[in-house]
A = this chain, B = another copy of it.
Amino acid sequence: MRYSELFGKTSRDFPKEEVAKNAKLLLRAGFIDKLMAGSYTLLPLGFRVKEKIENIIREEMDKTGAEEILMPLMHPKQIWNETKRWEYAKDVMYQFKKDDKEYALSFTHEEVVLDIVRKRLSSYKDLPIKLYHFSTKFRNELRAKSGILRAREFLMKDLYSLHASKEDLDKYYFKVAEVYIKIFERLGLKARMVEAPGGVFTENITHEFQVLAENGEDSIFYCEKCDFGQNKEIAKVKKGDKCPKCGGLIKEGRSIEVGNIFPLGTIYSEKMGIYFADKKGEKKLAWFACYGIGTTRVIGALVEVLSDEKGIVWPKEVSPYEVHLVGLNHKAEGVYEKLKGNKVDVLFDDRDISAGEKFADCDLIGIPIRLIVSDNTQDKIEWKERIGEKTELLTIDEVLTRLH
């Protein structure tokens, strides 16, 4: 892609009114646009990052045997009444009336997925059922000052699973927990699983996936030695305590929640009548859990955690492009064609502006590898990574070998 043709260039005019680092940098670097408080468009660069994040999540979901679907975003009141959440969750939901019918926008999908399942579940042989989708969520957040970390409209991956027994649910639940840690690792985030409250979902203990971050909205207590952790809201330990699991030291930290899993048990099944016949033919309630990853929130978390004073730093796996080619003479065109011909995903700054401006844009945009073609590099190409000062002069073949 030629940067001259890319829609959504870097700009010092943005942002207006934003206070969150993630939104400031993403707006300035041309990844997002702001429609109103808590509502953003993904511009081409941001869209590419989202696609890469979703593809990693999709791969890992599929490996657990989950199947991808797509559920509606506008729901009838009556489905929310079945669990009483029309009333109970009304602060967070966008509810409205049209032609005497009442609707709510999706702030989550438990009721809808259970309605789909109950029409099709009859025997224990139909279980387990594991369904996921990438979808839009609407939540009426009182404050929307954290950029894409807490938007009113945002993207999320939801997984829902139903099981014939608590044992089977627990087994899958903790398997997904492991898969989540792996997903966040692949996305470039070190997430910790901590015990957390259930909000408008459940009175049970749930598990959040938290990434330590100075500007995080959450606080967690965690063990410096093992994987023990609790959200401050429900913590039974405090800073300086001994870890109840391993005896290590408990620390406190600000953090960003990037995922949350809920072992909902049978309470939703009871309310919505989700039954199956077991091996003896007896009618039983299905065991239910849900699992979320905030996909746009992951973008925000990556920017909060990994950026530096010069701009964004994308991990390789989610970077909008593999390399950023800075062309400072006419030879750059040939290198661009060669890279493209070898299927390298390259952003080529072909503009007629100063080298300094181009380098500043590279730093702001945050693609992990920068290639420079200038009179100084002669027939070679300068390779420099976004992090670190080291530069190397390589031939095009050496560049290609290193990229593959």
Q: Which residues of B contact A177 (CB under 8 A)?
A: none
Q: Are B35 and A112 in contact (CB under 8 A)?
A: yes
| A105: contacting residue among B65, B74, B152, CB under 8 A | B74
Nearest residue (CB) in B for A97 is B96
Q: Are A138 and B74 in contact (CB under 8 A)?
A: yes
Q: Which residues of B contact A36 (CB under 8 A)?
A: 76
Nearest residue (CB) in B for A1 is B67
Whether, in the assembled complex, A208 has its beta carbon less than 8 Å from a beta carbon of chain B, the answer is no
Whether, in the assembled complex, A72 has its beta carbon less than 8 Å from a beta carbon of chain B, the answer is yes
Q: Are A72 and B153 in contact (CB under 8 A)?
A: yes
Nearest residue (CB) in B for A36 is B76
Measured CA separation A171–B96 after assembly (Å)? 43
Q: Which residues of B contact A155 (CB under 8 A)?
A: 70
Interface size on A, residues (CB 8 A): 52
- State how many angstroms separate the Cβ of A85 from the closest Cβ of chain B: 16
Measured CA separation A138–B95 after assembly (Å)? 15
Within 8 A of B (CB), among A9-52: 9, 11, 13, 33, 35-36, 39-44, 46-47, 50
Q: Are A96 and B99 in contact (CB under 8 A)?
A: no
Q: A39-B72, A44-B69, A70-B155 are in contact. List 16 more A-B contacts (CB 8 A).
A: A11-B120, A33-B119, A35-B71, A35-B72, A40-B72, A41-B112, A42-B69, A43-B69, A72-B153, A73-B73, A74-B94, A74-B105, A74-B153, A95-B98, A96-B96, A105-B105
Cross-chain pairs A/B with CB under 8 angstroms, 18 sampled: A11-B120, A35-B75, A35-B115, A41-B69, A41-B112, A43-B116, A44-B67, A44-B68, A44-B69, A47-B70, A72-B153, A73-B73, A73-B138, A74-B94, A74-B152, A94-B96, A95-B96, A95-B98
